[in-house]
Amino acid sequence: MTIRRYESWGRYPKASHASVLAAHWRKDPLPLPESSDQSILPYGNGRSYGDVCLNEGNTLLDTRGLDRFIAFDPETGILRCEGGVLLSEILDLVVPQGWFLPVTPGTRFVTVGGAIANDVHGKNHHRSGTFGCHVRAFELVRSDGSRRLCACDTNAEYFGATIGGLGLTGLITWADLQLRKIDNPFIAGETVRYQNLQDFFALSAESDRDFEYTVAWIDCLARGPSLGRGVFIRGNHAERKPVPEPRTSRLGLAVPFTPPISAINGATLKMFNAAYYYCHPAGRHPSTLHYAPFFYPLDSVAEWNRIYGPRGFLQYQFVVPLAQGVEAVREILQRIARASTGSFLAVLKIFGERGSPGWLSFPQPGVTLALDFPNVGTKTFDLLAGLDGVVREANGRLYPAKDARMSGTDFRNAYPMWHDLEALRDPRIDSSFWRRVREEH
Amino acid sequence: MRKILIVGATSAIAEATARLFAARGDALYLAGRNPDRLQILADDLRTRGANLVATARFDARDYDGHADLIDSAVHALDGLDTVLIAHGTLPDQKACEASFVAARDAFEVNALSVISFLTPIANRFEAQSGGTIAVISSVAGDRGRQSNYVYGAAKSCLDTFLEGLAHRLATANVAVITVKPGFVDTPMTAAFQKGPLWASPEQVARDIDRAIAKGRRVIYTPWFWRWIMRIIRSVPTFVFHRTRL
């Protein structure tokens, strides 16, 4: 058995915690550290990137013991389960019965609690909004012993504060989710290679009309007339099971150790990106595939985050309104290409209009770009501070679930309801992220 | 579809094993001390596919109630073919040295109460000429060690009892399985520092499930404990006494 490491996915910053408690039974009171000056933070599966799941010098509450199902109605698709259940466990249960997650992020190894706390989104945001849009209710347990049933019309302020609330309002012991009906586990997908940023926007507008799931992989190092080139990926749930069934590869790869330096640097990245781009022939290429490789291509490479070396990496995701979006994205891509840094895994997507009940929900209508930067120290941080400026100018904002270094001022300006969340924060709960952003240091 | 009684159902290893049974659509009777927790488990197992889940409160030291519990299980499941005994406590060794009451307690819960259950079960399975009995023991029973010999002695008592029971029931087509886990990461061992030898309840559950399917006699889980204990058992006394194991 591997000893559980309490890190974030980016493995930066590293945090040492005074202790880790565990929750096993949802009817028990919230476990609390003995010392009253210690705060606690619920920890799911550690797939957020920066420090929203860390609580330096204090205590973590491991919630994976709350991994039970409570009830599932295969007629209505309403599932009630504990907060520590993984989305992968939900899929294993419900897909064979003809149901799917209404919204899924890029990995299925996140807990329900984590999905709510970060109000995660996916390739179908333009149709279905965020995860929080499909949460009918949940139970919130706090350090004062209170247990609240929260829904849009019950304890509504706790409902709004907790969705996207980064775990700060209490422990989500269970939640009711409305799932989405499917006929079979396959996706009728298509890839379309496109040549530049302008093409992306045109392709996206067209695709969002006809496809439930859309996203673009983007070559973040391409310059000049090729700036923003990439491969557009789109798909719908297959209407019928394909015959013959596509083979699902059982080849599980893993990164068994951490290479001493990041395996991803300027030179290798430019090559990978070019190869990936040209690997896709021009034009549209349909293929039907199982949901796992369509939604979760990286999940099959266990611990891929180690490929960035011991210093870890910084994930950067922002959204800017469409009006200024094109220029902002162009400017950002130019800066990244000039700095010759960046990641293979860069994704671009248009967010839709559907709002979320979460007060601190990240998505807003506009365009979002997400990518990783190997942590090479000052150079990385300076670049990101520069990008922050572009995002700020364009009235955009960053995604807390991915952040390890945004300034408190930027955060507070971008999320004015942070005040309201702070008012409802459980007095015994805190996080490294929240301490960092709620005041200037 | 098997009809399975699990005693000590709310323990981590039992819960993990019950999930494997539920996925196969078995019928389950769960006995534990805490009705709320039993209910939580029952909802989970039903959702995961168990054909039927019934629960009952039991107390390890209420010996008179044990035969009734088994009868209730038979009634609820309309028969019984498998029993998993998973309850137990890890006593404080020092407390057991200081007081016989603590030591006796450890024996009652870990050894005597198991024998109390096994007596009517063995007779029933013998009479019906079939069934599987699996009991969670421990590697601690393989050698008395200064760090946990009260617990070890209780488990060792179980091991010998089960060995004899297996012999008796061999001709009646009843399998008796002794499950010996090493270090397992559960609430029972929350206070311990974990290391690479530690197993998850899910790993142990898979081994138990396989052992039941194959009717094995004694299993160590994970497998490498068989070899570790072989070595531990063979260390000569004068050397062993120099250790604090």
pLDDT of B95 = 96
CA B24 to chain CA mean position, Å: 21
By C-alpha distance, which of A178, A45, A64 is closest to A114?
A45
CA A172 to chain CA mean position, Å: 18
CA distance B10 to A408: 45
By C-alpha distance, which of B234, B238, B213, B209 is closest to B221?
B209
Q: What does pLDDT average to in each consecutive run of 10 residues of chain A (441 residues)?
A: 77 92 96 95 96 96 97 98 98 98 97 98 97 98 98 98 98 98 96 94 94 94 90 95 72 55 69 84 89 89 76 92 92 90 84 97 97 89 96 97 96 97 98 92 54
By C-alpha distance, which of A93, A13, A1, A38 is closest to A403?
A13
pTM of the model: 0.94
Angle at A146 between CA A144 and CA A148, to 5 degrees: 145
Interface touch A22/B200, C-beta < 8 Å? no
Tell me if A56 sits within 8 A of A15, measured CB to CB: yes
In Å, how far is A72's CA from the nearest CA of chain B? 6
Q: Which two tokens stand for residue A138?
A: 């949940």
User: Is the alpha carbon torsion for B166, B167, B168, B169 positive or negative?
Assistant: positive
ipTM: 0.92
What order do you get walking across the sheet with B52-57 strand by strand? B52-57, B27-32, B3-7, B82-85, B131-136, B174-181, B218-221
pLDDT of A256 = 55
CA distance A254 to A299: 10
Inter-CA distances, A336 with A138, A196, A397, Å? 41, 16, 18
CB proximity list for B171: less than 8 A, separation 6 or greater: none
CA distance B221 to B144: 19
Interface touch B40/A26, C-beta < 8 Å? yes
Q: Kindly list the residues from chain A whose CB atom is less than 8 angstroms away from the CB atom of residue B44.
A: 68-70
Count CB pairs under 8 A between chains A and B: 38
pLDDT of A262 = 61
H or E element: which one contains B165? Answer: helix B149-169
Q: What is the pLDDT along chain B (245 residues), one digit of tens a residue?
A: 999 999 999 999 999 999 999 999 999 999 999 999 999 999 999 999 999 999 999 999 999 999 999 999 999 999 999 999 999 999 999 999 999 999 999 999 999 999 999 999 999 999 999 999 999 999 999 999 999 999 999 999 999 999 999 999 999 999 999 999 999 999 888 888 888 899 999 999 999 999 999 999 999 999 999 999 999 999 999 999 999 99
Tell me if A351 sits within 8 A of A319, measured CB to CB: yes
Burial grade of B101 (CB within 10 A; 0-12, 13-18, 19 or more) = exposed
Pairing of strands A347-351, A171-178: unpaired
Q: Which of A1, A27, A69 sits opposite B47 (nearest CB)?
A: A69
In Å, how far is B227's CA from the nearest CA of chain A? 18
pLDDT of A3 = 58
pLDDT of A263 = 60
| Residue-wise DSSP of A77-136 | TEEEEETT-BHHHHHHHHGGGTEE-SS--S-S--BHHHHHHTT---TTHHHH--GGGGEE
Q: B37 in contact with A at a CB cutoff of 8 Å?
A: yes
Tell me if B143 sits within 8 A of B182, measured CB to CB: no
pLDDT of A254 = 58
pLDDT of A241 = 86
Interface touch B36/A22, C-beta < 8 Å? no
Q: Which of A24, A26, A69 sits opposite B48 (nearest CB)?
A: A69
